Amino acid sequence: MTDAVKGKISVETENIFPIIKKWLYSEKDIFIRELVSNACDATSKLKKISLSEEFEGGTDYKIELSFDKDKRILVIEDNGIGMTSEEVKKYINQIAFSGATDFAKHYQNAENKAEIIGHFGLGFYSCFMVSQKVTIETKSYKKGEAGVLWESESGTDFSISPIEKETRGTKISLYLDADSGEYLDKWKLKELIKKYCDFLPVPIFVDGEKANREKPLWSEEPSKLKPEDYKDFYSYLFPFSGESLFHIHLNVDFPFRLQGILYFPKLTHELDASKNGIKLFCNHVFVSDNANELIPQFLTILKGTIDIPDLPLNVSRSYLQNDPLVKKITNHIIKKVADRLLEDFKKNREEYQKNWSDISIFVKYGILTDEKFYDSVKDALIFKNSESGFYTLNEYWEKNKEKNNNKVYYANETEMGSVYMDLLKSQGLEALLVDSKIDSHLIQNLEMKNPDMKFQRVDAELADQVVDKDANKGLVDSENKTESDRIEEFFKTVVAVEGVEIKAEALKSQEVPAVILMPEFMRRMSEMNSMFNKEDMKALKNHTLLVNTTSPLVKSALRVFNGVNQEKGKNLARLVYDLALLSAKAMSEQEISDYTKRTSQFLEEIFSEN
C-alpha cells in the first residue's frame, strides 16, 4: 500500500461553490439526479464489458441509497464498473471538476435564472451543494486493483489513499450540512428517485425498498404493446387525469434520436389548452416538465414524455430556440401529430367526430399558427352543421355552392334556435356551426386560403334566398309611397336611435317581425374582444334593423299607429325592435331590465282597455 496523496485541485476554485449554491439552491435536489445517473452509467458500462470480459462479483446490478440520521450521512452506492486510483484522479479531480468550473463561469454573471434548464455538465460536484464533506470509496472491476478512498471537505482540497474494499463499485458518502437534513428521510428520497430516476435501467433501492419503475414504455417496440399498456402508462404518469383520447408513439433513430409517447387528453375547459403536460428526459433521466422550446404552443395540451439523448441540456433557452436539432425535432413532432389526425379521420371517421369537441381547439389553433400543420390537416378539419351532422369545408362547399351562390353560411352553435337559423332552414339551407372563441380568427384564415368562397354569418347578413324579392310592395298611395315605404318611415320615427339604420323588406317567412343585422367585421371584432373578456356592447349598437313587411305584427302596429291609438302603435313597434335586439343578444343587462318594465306596462295597458 502507498501512502495517502493530498492535493489542491486549483487555486481558482474558491468562488465556484458559492456560485453553484446561489444558482441551484432552490433546485438542489438535482444532486440526487446527478449522482444516481453516474451510478447508473457505471453499471451500464459494466454490462457492456460483461459481453466480452469476465469479472468477479456477479451481475446482480443495483444502486442503493441509505442514510444515518444521527451522523447526518447519506450514502449512494453501486456495484458497477468502479474506478482505479488513476481513474479517480482523472474523472473526479479533472473531468468532473471541469464541468463545475464551466458551470460557474457561465452563470456567475447571469441575471435570469429561468435560462437554466438542465445541469448535466455539473455532475459529481453538485453534491457539495448539500454537503460539508464528501468521501468516495471505490474499487475497479479489474482483477488485482486495490480500493481507493477520495476525501474532500471543500471540493478543492482532497486526499486520495488506498483502502481495503472487498467488492467492486463505488460508494459515495455525503456528510450533509446543517440546511440539508431533509435528505435523511426515506420518503423524500423515494420521491426524488421517482421524479428524476424512475426509468433508469437499474433497480434503485432506498433504505432497502425498490424505488424506481426501471423500464419506460417509450423504449418498447410499439408492435409489442397493447392499448392497455398505453392506458396504464398514462395513468402512472398522470394519475387522476382520466383517460386519454389516443396516443402517438415516437421512435426515431435518424437523422436524430428521439423516443417518447404523446397523449391527447380530454379537455374540460378551453384554458386546459395552455397547460403543459410533457415531461422531458435525456437517456431516461428526467430533466424538466417544461418542454416549451420543443413543443409548439398549439400542442401544449398534449401530455406524455419525450426522451432526446443528443439534446444538450445545460444550455439556455435562446440556444434551444436556434438549435437546428431542436427545430428538426419540433417539425417531426408536428408532422407525427398531423399524420395521426389524418389517419384517424380517414380510417375511423365516426370515432374522430366523437372526439372532435376535445381536439378541435388545438387543431384550429395549429391551423392558425403553423402553415405546414394547416397543409397537413386541412382535409381533417370538420364542422358541425345545422342538420346535426359533420362536414369538412370541401364537403359543405360541394353540396351547397350552387344553391348558396358560392357562399359558406356559418353561425355560432348557440344560434341553433335563433330566428336567423329558422329563416335559413325554412328555405332548405344549412350552415356550418362554430363553437369556440378562436373561430373568428379561423374563419378569416380560411377566407384568405379559399378566395373562391365567401363566408357569411347568418346573423350578419340575410341569405338572398330568405328575402322575397318578388313580393308586392303594396299599392302606391296619394303620396306615391308603398306600404313598405310607410313601414320604414314608421319605424324610423319610433326607433330614432343613433347608429341604427332601418330597412323594410319582405321575408318569405311571416313569423319573424324583424331581425338585427350587423356587419361581418363588427361581429368578429366583438367575438375577438370576448376572448380577452372585453364585452363591448357599444360595438353592437351600430346595426341595421330589418323590418319584415310581411309580418302580421308589423302591419298591425302600422295600422294602429295610423288609426285611433298612435301611442299604442309606437309601443308595438318598439316591442318589435326589442324582440329583435333580444334575439341578437345585443341588449345589456340594464337594457333587458328596462325592456321588462316597459313590456309589463304595455301589457297592463292592453288588458286594462279590455
3-state secondary structure of 256: coil
DSSP 53-90: ---SS-S---EEEEEETTTTEEEEEE-SS---HHHHHH
Question: Confidence class of residue 115 from pLDDT cuts 50, 70 and 90?
Answer: very low
Could you list the residues known to form a binding site, using ranges. Answer: 34, 38, 78, 83, 98-99, 170, 317
Higher pLDDT, 477 or 419: 419
CATH topology (fold) of 5-210: Heat Shock Protein 90 (3.30.565)
Q: pLDDT tens digits, residue range 547-561?
A: 999 999 999 999 988
Q: Which of these CATH numbers, 3.60.20.10, 3.30.450.40, 3.40.50.11260, 3.90.800.10, describes 381-466?
A: 3.40.50.11260
Evaluate if residue 270 carries a pLDDT over 60.
no
Q: How confident is the model at residue 595 (pLDDT cuts 50, 70, 90)?
A: confident
DSSP-based three-state secondary structure for 161: strand
Residues of CATH 3.40.50.11260 domain(s) within the chain?
381-466
Which residues make up each annotated binding site for ATP? 34, 38, 78, 83, 98-99, 170, 317
Q: Which residue has the cell 443495483?
A: 62
Of the segments 94-98, 340-344, 478-482, 598-602, which one has the largest average pLDDT value?
340-344
At 452, the amino acid letter reads: D
- Class (C level, CATH) for 483-516+539-609: mainly alpha
pLDDT: is 50 or 171 the higher one?
Answer: 171
Mean pLDDT across the stretch 215-243?
93
Q: CA 274, 275, 281, 287 torsion: positive or negative?
A: positive
Statement: residue 163 has pLDDT above 80: yes
Give me the pLDDT at residue 525, please. 64
Give residue 469's pLDDT band: very low, low, confident or very high (50, 70, 90).
confident
Of all residues in the chain, the percent with pLDDT exceeding 70 is 83
Q: Is residue 435 scored above 80 in pLDDT?
A: yes
Q: What is the pLDDT of residue 528?
A: 57
Distance CA 352, CA 344 (A): 6
Q: Where in the chain is the domain with CATH 3.30.565.10?
A: 5-210
- Locate all alpha helices (DSSP H) within 401-457, ordered by sequence: 419-426, 439-449
How far apart, in whole angstroms, are the C-alpha atoms of residue 572 and residue 579?
A: 11
- pLDDT tens column, 476-528: 666 778 888 999 999 999 988 888 999 998 888 888 899 888 776 666 666 55
Say yes or no to pLDDT of 313 above 90: no
Q: Where does the chain hold its CATH 3.30.230.80 domain(s)?
A: 217-350
Q: What is the mean pLDDT of the chain?
A: 84
Average pLDDT of the residues in 225-252: 92
217-350 topology per CATH: Ribosomal Protein S5; domain 2 (3.30.230)
- What mean pLDDT is predicted for residues 227-234? 96
CA distance 302 to 25: 31
Q: Is the pLDDT of residue 316 over 60?
A: no
| pLDDT tens by residue, 144-162 | 899 999 999 877 788 999 9
Task: Give the residue carrying C-alpha cell 430556440.
Answer: 321
Residues composing the chain: 610
**In which residue ranges of the chain is CATH 1.20.120.790 found?**
483-516+539-609
Least confident of 4-8, 66-70, 243-247, 421-425: 4-8
User: Cell triple for residue 117?
Assistant: 434548464
* Residue, of 198 and 415, whose pLDDT is higher: 198
Q: Which of 455, 460, 416, 414 is nearest to 437 (CA)?
A: 414
pLDDT of residue 483: 85
Binned at pLDDT 50, 70 and 90, residue 210 comes out as: very high
